[in-house]
Structure 1
């Protein structure tokens, strides 16, 4: 079960504290009955308000939509799919999804009929799913309203996901579907309000299992420097082996903050903000074993030019950490990278984060880092690649290896590549949505200009690569394999949809040694220019469409 969205918003659950941490001591065990209305509680500001999310689905990958103010709906950058207060519309490649996430343990009953908005078209496939398991489904071919059946007294637990899905049949023309479900929930209310009560001092409410930065002198929403208080709280957390909690509000940090083997968690990425005032020394550094950072926003008051790209100017830098997590963090406007994982960091999870307007890569893994999972992140307007694995001959003892990059939603005006492996081994790139990047959407390469290591055993599967390679005169294809030195070998592309290439579809280029490159069951559509430019390598093509 994917608890990502639920855990990202609930301090009490993810720290194992009970709702008393954010509200009152009785909230953890209280029973409640509440009706959640999809239309009345439709939110125009943030995902997750009142437990509702707005997403698109391809295969098993749920990716969040962005709010479109002009059309008053959550939508993909191309306009489809979309979800409004009253309706959903899929596109050719993605289902439209309205999702509700359970706030606790109990039962639900679902009401509300569903019907096509137009008699035209070939119909839609609609379904209700619980954590991926179909509870009910139907095919709608006319405007007759249909009431879902057998969707009463369904057991749920904290984080259970109930998805209302609209899928095309043959095509998505006239697939506007009216659906305003209501969910009557009866059970425990684990997700006690994180509003004003979350700003209350933890004194008197805080269980003995955690520490609050307020108890060490931090003050939210004033102009004072909270750096010393954060250092004291983190030091105490390490000494006492306790997590550190940062209540809602804005906190000022004047220096690099180091989190050494401690869990630091805010009240939510729209509630807790850490603002760094020195654009050259504002990184939050993770090191040691078991460091975690979650449920908050990190922003710079000002930024400076990228320059030498020093790690001190990142939003978050993982420095040789083991068993680390970065989860549900909002990264805003760094001078260099958003999240940098380096110095041999191992066994890490980077999940559910939003990165916006970074000076360099959004998420960057290098320095021999290994066994890292990067999933369910959104990266917009990166100053370089959105997600990159890079290994250098000069400085890295080992290549970065065993990296999994899955279910991310990236691009949206990023200045370089979408997802890139430039030196590295054993990397899996799957179920990602990549769109609107200046350079190639997927880039697998060994580069002489940066003296990077060889590439071996890379699998690229079930991704949507849409309208990339926009910049001229580079004219990158949507997918590019490239070598100007070294060896690229054992790269496999499976079941990807590669569409709307700004200049061409797929390229395999370069004067280096390009060995086995395999394309299995990929679909290439609507590109401008050539379908493929294969100038090097041992290319194997099996059951592809469009090339």
Structure 2
């Protein structure tokens, strides 16, 4: 080791057992540097899609989650760019929220679990945000009427009479789809590619203004469809079989 006015020459050797720096002129140790960088990352909100913003391994070897992509705000940390000239960058969350799925509200669709409350929450959200509610293939058990006033609902129509697509299953003792209010904003409904099964009324609406139905199948209900005060409505490919 040589010491002079120009500094210290170690000849390839290291300096060990140094204390972490305290004063401005103190040398930085490996431990202090790792801790300092980890603190910066842990408190910062760096650019979207930076891998350093997800996990950090501290000096003690423990992995710390800085930003969780699996959390409720994870999709807001991932960028999305549509193909095509002039497309602008958005977050994946903004892209995903263009549509509403009943699965977003926790429905099961196995024909056993009662999905009434969660289906209604999804319907309410679609009404509030003026978006189509998509209900994927499945059998959704209900125990009371679903208010679909002022909402567009679309399912998956698969197989003969929609037998293996989206099925809204009632208990036989209640209406399945109903219109609970008669305000101007709520007098229209749209139903597409859905099977309605096992209720008092499949669909019961006092007012039907500017409404549209397509590929709606109603089976095993005491009554099929009740519509009053119809104005500017269109239906295509309906099938009703009451008992």
TM range (shorter): 0.5 to 0.7
1:322 is aligned, of 209, 224, 234, to: 209
Secondary structure at 2:124's aligned position in 1?
A: helix
Q: Residue 144 of structure 2 corresponds to which residue in structure 1? A: 255
Deviation at 1:321, TM superposition (A): 2.8
Matching of residue 220 in structure 1 with residue 113 in structure 2? no
The structure in which a higher percent of residues are strand is 1
Matching of residue 210 in structure 1 with residue 99 in structure 2? yes
Deviation at 1:280, TM superposition (A): 2.7
TM-score using structure 1 length: 0.25
Aligned 8 A contact 1:296 1:330 in 2: yes
Q: For residues 111 and 233 of structure 2, what CA distance do their matches in structure 1 show?
A: 34
Secondary structure at 2:131's aligned position in 1?
A: coil
Matching of residue 238 in structure 1 with residue 127 in structure 2? yes
Q: For residues 212 and 265 of structure 1, what CA distance do their matches in structure 2 show?
A: 10
Aligned 8 A contact 1:274 1:297 in 2: yes
Q: 1:220/1:334 Cα in 2 relative to 1: closer, same or farther (>3 Å)?
A: same
* Superposed CA RMSD: 2.7
Q: Residue 193 of structure 2 corresponds to which residue in structure 1? A: 295
Q: For residues 207 and 321 of structure 1, what CA distance do their matches in structure 2 show?
A: 31
1:213-270 deviation digits (Å, cap 9, x = unpaired): 1111111215111011111011111111111000001111110111011101101134
Aligned 8 A contact 1:218 1:230 in 2: yes
Secondary structure at 1:254's aligned position in 2?
A: coil
Q: For residues 319 and 209 of structure 1, what CA distance do their matches in structure 2 show?
A: 31
Deviation at 1:291, TM superposition (A): 1.4
Q: Residue 353 of structure 1 corresponds to which residue in structure 2? A: 238
Aligned 8 A contact 1:209 1:243 in 2: no
Secondary structure at 2:139's aligned position in 1?
A: strand
Aligned 8 A contact 2:147 2:178 in 1: yes
Q: For residues 349 and 327 of structure 1, what CA distance do their matches in structure 2 show?
A: 8
Deviation at 1:289, TM superposition (A): 3.9
Deviation at 1:351, TM superposition (A): 1.6
Q: Residue 503 of structure 1 corresponds to which residue in structure 2? A: none
Aligned 8 A contact 2:187 2:207 in 1: no
Matching of residue 280 in structure 1 with residue 170 in structure 2? no
Matching of residue 339 in structure 1 with residue 233 in structure 2? no
Aligned 8 A contact 1:254 1:282 in 2: no
Q: For residues 147 and 168 of structure 2, what CA distance do their matches in structure 1 show?
A: 13
Aligned 8 A contact 2:144 2:174 in 1: yes
Q: For residues 333 and 347 of structure 1, what CA distance do their matches in structure 2 show?
A: 28
Instruction: Please identify the structure whose Cα radius of gyration is greater.
Output: 2
Q: For residues 299 and 346 of structure 1, what CA distance do their matches in structure 2 show?
A: 26
Deviation at 1:209, TM superposition (A): 2.3
TM-score using structure 2 length: 0.54
Aligned 8 A contact 2:111 2:169 in 1: no
Q: For residues 131 and 114 of structure 2, what CA distance do their matches in structure 1 show?
A: 24
Q: 1:254/1:291 Cα in 2 relative to 1: closer, same or farther (>3 Å)?
A: same
Aligned 8 A contact 1:253 1:282 in 2: no
Match runs of 1:126-525 below 5 Å: 207-268=96-157, 269-270=162-163, 271-277=165-171, 279-286=172-179, 288-300=186-198, 313-336=200-223, 338-342=224-228, 344-356=229-241, 358-359=242-243
Which consecutive segments of 4 or more residues in structure 1 shift more than 6 A? Answer: none
Q: For residues 210 and 290 of structure 1, what CA distance do their matches in structure 2 show?
A: 20
Q: For residues 353 and 321 of structure 1, what CA distance do their matches in structure 2 show?
A: 16
Unaligned stretches of 5+ in structure 2?
A: 1-91
Secondary structure at 2:210's aligned position in 1?
A: strand
Q: Residue 133 of structure 1 corresponds to which residue in structure 2? A: none
Aligned 8 A contact 1:322 1:348 in 2: yes
